[in-house]
Amino acid sequence: MGNGNRHILITGASGGIGSAVALALADAQTRLTLVARDPARLATVAQQVEAKAASVNVLAADLSATAHFEPLIAAAIAAQGPIDVLINCAGVNAFKRLAETEPELVGAIIATNILAPMLLSRAVLSQMLERRRGRIVNIGSVMGGVGFAGFSAYCASKFAVRGFSEALRRELDGSGVAVTYVAPRYTRTALNSAQMDRMAKAVKMNMDAPEAVARAIVKAINGGKAEHAIGFVERILLRVNALFPRLVDGALASLNKRMLEHAE
């Protein structure tokens, strides 16, 4: 299939957004490394993209189970060369009141959604800085800029991802390594529980298919964007919440009550 011109590593590659991103990025100039927990699901995604990509490698890993990602990055580089783009797409969500959320679930959300992206970025940075090129892409959420009832742990993790992306972008200014933060809105994937789906439909949330989100992510990467939030209304809400959070408290009060009626 020839030698591709860029090597992209995608975490959460067997999930709805992750697999859609892999399919959207697969072309004759791209080598893909797909990372996720489930080897069988990874193999299925690899079969779907290998006819389009320059080459595909899969690495099964539980990102919540380790703080040492150097061996994973070393394996990816050994298989397909230096990594040009790291896409931190793996995620864990929960729609529960905090008082009813198991400590282990809170830990899994924080470990997967923020610790893994930070430590994977750290692990890949040395080779990017040495080459003076590369891009780290963190997939956040509209809930990384607006807090919603029933999603306190998830919102905390995504607020952290947004802050991490902003700080790292400024830290790397002038280094040749860029950071992109993309904030999807509600996306129809298996990450969402049945309760989440019922809630989203009941309150008439704007929803996107994974393929639409993937197209937005690829556009942000190829366009060199620093930040991109999906949805016009959502972008306005993010800006208003940043400036006038108490105003948004009142505006969302009724919505939050209706959302909590569907919480687990």
Note the Cα 236 to chain centre separation in Å.
21
Characterize 116-153 residue by residue with b for buried, 16 or more Cβ atoms within 10 angstroms of its Cβ, and e for exposed: bbbbbbebbbebbeeeeebbbbbbbbbbbbbbbbbbbb
Measure Cα distances from 63 to 11, 38, 75 in Å. Answer: 9, 12, 15
d(CA 121, CA 172): 12
Closest CA to 234 of 164, 146, 155, 149: 146
The token pair that represents 4 in the structure block: 């591709």
Q: Tell me, yes or no, if 186 is annotated catalytic.
A: no
Cross-strand bridge partners of residue 60: 36
Closest CA to 148 of 242, 67, 59, 256: 256
Sheet with 55-60, edge to edge strand ranges: 55-60, 30-36, 6-11, 85-88, 134-139, 177-183, 227-229
- Angle between helix axes 152-171 and 103-110 (nearest 10 degrees) is 20
- Of 154, 159, 164, 181, the active-site residue reads 154
CB 111 within 8 A of CB 37: no
Catalytic residue IDs: 154
